Amino acid sequence: MHMNHNITIPGLQGVRVLHTDEREGVVHLQVVVPRKRSRCPACGVWTRRVHDYRWQRVQHTAWFERPTVLHYRRRRYVCPCGKRFAEANPLVDRYQRHSREWNQALGLRLVTGKNFTDTARQFSTSVTTALRRFDELASRTLPHVEQLPRVIAVDEYKGDTNAGKYQLLVADGATGRPVDILPDRKKETLKQYLQQKGGQVEVVVMDMSAPFHQAARRALNRPIIVADRFHVHRHVYWALERVRRRVQHTLSSYHRKRCKRLKHVFTKKAEDLTAQQVKIRDQYLAGSEELRTAYELKEAFRAWFERSKRRMTTGQAGAIRDDLYAFYRQVEASGCPDMAQAAATVRRWQTEILNSFTFDYHNGTVEGLNNQTKVIKRNAFGFQRYDRLRAKVLLHHQYKWSLAG
């Protein structure tokens, strides 16, 4: 089919399409760039004299979902000085077999897409090529971290890369934006990283991890460490679960199974239970003093937590702390060893936990990032390599943030 010269095709602006053709599901476009006065790269003289034409085959982005090949009739000019030179063109860089448009679209897709295998298929190229493009893109565009921001949050996740089973995500604690991913979660790795880049760091948000705590204390100058308050809960819930399992064990086979199946009734917020769930809960709590005590302590801790969140904005740090002391006393009086253990952990991290209410930082955003990272990992071929997973996560977020504004 011969085409009207005036049609402008996205991605082919400034190019004239001479002919289109579809063969075996592949679109072939013959294209040429209009002849124009061009400057000789050797002597600077302007010329319009054509030396010759050569066909160059260039893979382009899919057109109406069909793989598309450009047959570019590439012109060479010749200068009176004798120099022959290729015309300037918006389509393809020198020595490339893919158009610029294709490279850009592929790059975007490699960053935002789920995995490399699907992307390679969409672009009718091999996975090896896709991986090579991705690595080039990463080395060209990944931001280099010089100095960490004033507030950082660290959280580990299971990346299962060649660098280690766990990786450590470092984010800007104020915005949640990912800053870096460390190859492993070793204390020494984090310590060295913070020594190098943590000159401006004042606040570090983390879960209750002793190695991270030590790394931050040793590398930084008197940092404010904030224990992520969502992790605090877990210790109290684990204690309740231990008690439930122990009590469950003493029940009849029927109730043992039922109690296990309905364990969420005990961990769920009391005010969110349905009438039926309240009945079940009360039935089991009435049967065991020990379980009832542990349950009440769980609820007492939760009440403290909720009150503290409300008090946070009104600067009642003293009241938050005094209330926590009251919880410790309640645990002591109960004689429940599991809750005593949880309370001891809370006490050990008390300063950092109270900091989370004073400074209102938490790891929620970072955990969200970590969940997204897990999704990337699950979907992806090629992320056994730590450097690639790191690049993918950071570039993906860089892209999202560039859209956000």
C-beta separation of 207 from 228 below 8 A:
yes
- What's the min distance (Å) between Cβ of 44 and Zn ion? 7
Residue from 39, 51, 76, 83 binding Zn ion (CB under 5 A): 83
- What's the min distance (Å) between Cβ of 33 and Zn ion? 20
CA distance linking residue 139 with residue 297, whole number of Å: 53
Residue from 9, 42, 50, 326 binding Zn ion (CB under 5 A): 42
Residue from 79, 201, 219, 343 binding Zn ion (CB under 5 A): 79
CA distance linking residue 320 with residue 303, whole number of Å: 11
Q: Does 344 bind Zn ion (CB under 5 A)?
A: no
Total interface residues for Zn ion by CB under 5 A: 7
- What's the min distance (Å) between Cβ of 131 and Zn ion? 42
CA distance linking residue 63 with residue 67, whole number of Å: 7
CA distance linking residue 273 with residue 276, whole number of Å: 8
Residue from 29, 40, 391, 393 binding Zn ion (CB under 5 A): 40
C-beta separation of 153 from 205 below 8 A:
yes
CA distance linking residue 31 with residue 21, whole number of Å: 12
- Closest CB to Zn ion among 43 and 326? 43
Return the SS3 of 277: helix
- Closest CB to Zn ion among 46 and 381? 46
Residue from 9, 81, 108, 303 binding Zn ion (CB under 5 A): 81
- Closest CB to Zn ion among 85 and 237? 85
Q: Does 84 bind Zn ion (CB under 5 A)?
A: no
Given the rule CB under 5 A, which of 45-53, 94-102, 193-201, 256-264 is the region that contacts Zn ion? Answer: 45-53
- What's the min distance (Å) between Cβ of 49 and Zn ion? 11
Q: Does 286 bind Zn ion (CB under 5 A)?
A: no
Q: Does 76 bind Zn ion (CB under 5 A)?
A: no
In sequence order, which residues have a C-beta less than 8 Å from that of residue 342 and are 6 or more positions away?
Answer: 235, 236, 238, 239, 331
CA distance linking residue 323 with residue 329, whole number of Å: 10
- What's the min distance (Å) between Cβ of 51 and Zn ion? 12
Angle at which helix 350-359 crosses helix 317-334, to 10 degrees, equals 140
Given the rule CB under 5 A, which of 79-87, 193-201, 210-218, 383-391 is the region that contacts Zn ion? Answer: 79-87
DSSP string, 143-158: PPP-S--SEEEEEEEE
DSSP string, 54-69: EEEEEEEEEETTEEEE
- Closest CB to Zn ion among 79 and 91? 79
In sequence order, which residues have a C-beta less than 8 Å from that of residue 156 and are 6 or more positions away?
Answer: 166, 167, 168, 169, 185, 207, 209
The label of the residue with tokens 């039935």 reads: 283
- Closest CB to Zn ion among 42 and 210? 42
Binding mask 250-279 for Zn ion (x = CB under 5 A): ------------------------------
Q: Does 43 bind Zn ion (CB under 5 A)?
A: yes
CA distance linking residue 123 with residue 116, whole number of Å: 10
Angle at which helix 127-141 crosses helix 100-112, to 10 degrees, equals 80
Given the rule CB under 5 A, which of 71-79, 147-155, 350-358, 362-370 is the region that contacts Zn ion? Answer: 71-79
- Closest CB to Zn ion among 85 and 399? 85
- What's the min distance (Å) between Cβ of 46 and Zn ion? 10
Interface positions with Zn ion (CB under 5 A):
40, 42-43, 45, 79, 81, 83
